[in-house]
Amino acid sequence: ILLNSKLAGCTVFITGASRGIGKAIALKAARDGANVVVAAKTADPHPKLPGTIYTAAAEIEAAGGKALPCIVDVRDEKQINEAVEQAVEKFGGIDILVNNASAINLTGTLETPMKKVDLMLGINLRGTYLTSKLCIPHLLKSKNPHILNLSPPLNLNPIWFKNHTAYTIAKYGMSMCVLGMAEEFKGSIAVNALWPKTAIQTAAMDMLGGSGIGKQCRKVEIMADAAYAILKKPTSFTGQFVIDEDILKTEGIKEFDVYAVEPGHPLLPDFFLDQQPEDLAKQMEEHGATPAFKSGKADSAATGPISDMFNIIRGILSPDIVKTTQGVYRFDLSGEHAGVWYIDLKNDAGSAGSGDPPVKADVVMALDSADFIKMFGGKLKPTMAFMSGKLKIKGDMGLAIKLEKMMAMMKSKL
């Protein structure tokens, strides 16, 4: 889709290039006549994952590039060093580094074994830092050197931490390398990050979303085209957290359906952008996939007064309130801010958010969203709302009255 042989003769060192996005970037560079160092772990065929460094190297040569397959675990300084030395010896230098190698495990703090934490920090954060450190002396000798990390914009919204803190720390570590090194090597090396707007069909995505996920994804080629658009820019283009679709729009691409696995099918937005994790899980399920990261606890998918109210509710949840209440509430709201919300004051330290509760509700309360705001703002008591017909209650009436304690606490916060 993008023309011009901008990378002819350049040497591109790509970690995790035996499959997926890494290999797609390698093939894109190869079509320009680039030299590609395939730095990845898979030397022998993997029972579950496609490709080895040798099959990737053969594809690169067939596409018009030159390939150097190197067995590299990015946690191993000696292996990276050897690959860098071989690359410099064979191709005369290194012009571009793509830090693509990554490990993913979307589990909470108590469910994540330290072995997995070490793996993610070791590959994503330390591996990126170490490979950059060892390539930089050679990059500094290049005419138009680039480091490109496959990592997200630094979105500090807690929703992107709470369900998989270790993974987020590891992935944001890669992004922080961009932030620091772009400034440190300003004027000498361009250092940028690239992240997809939507889910991309890879072996990793198939494992996370199950067999139904593919049709909600775009193909790896969109990331390869976006990476190419970045790598052909001058070194003054640096410190940028680029989203694939955004940069391709600036390149004049208007038609993105060509990148879809199933053109016309709704696409799944990727992590760390503005859509909430629970929305992603819901969307995946609606279209036949099974999310491996679903937390069972939902957050506000909306903005506005109800969402603001729930942010305050979440702030006052405590084991003490849970212990004294012992109820799960579902709110069916009508009117201007219609929707379903819940407060779980029965399990763990409590939870609250949009959508159905993680377990069956003990009491369902149906009312207008404006009355809900008044009720939790301390201006309307549940008993009065019920008696006046503004509130309909199904289930345990006593639990509805118990909510008044929480509302009194809310009033002091407003």
Q: Which residue type, as a one-letter code, is found at position 148?
A: L
Cα separation, 117 vs 114, whole angstroms: 5
Tokens 């957290």 belong to residue: 241
Q: Which residue from 356, 339, 355, 358 is spatially nearest to 347, judged by alpha carbons?
A: 358
Torsion of CA 176, 181, 184, 187, to 10 degrees: -130
Spot the catalytic one: 129, 167, 172, 342: 167
Cα separation, 305 vs 4, whole angstroms: 51
Cα separation, 4 vs 24, whole angstroms: 17
> Strand runs (DSSP E) across 144-273, as ranges?
146-149, 190-195, 241-243
- Helix boundaries (H) for 6-111: 20-30, 53-62, 77-91
167 noted as active-site residue: yes
Tokens 């775009």 belong to residue: 218
Q: What are phi and psi of 89, to 5 degrees?
A: -65, -45
Cα separation, 359 vs 326, whole angstroms: 13
Kindly list the catalytic residues: 167
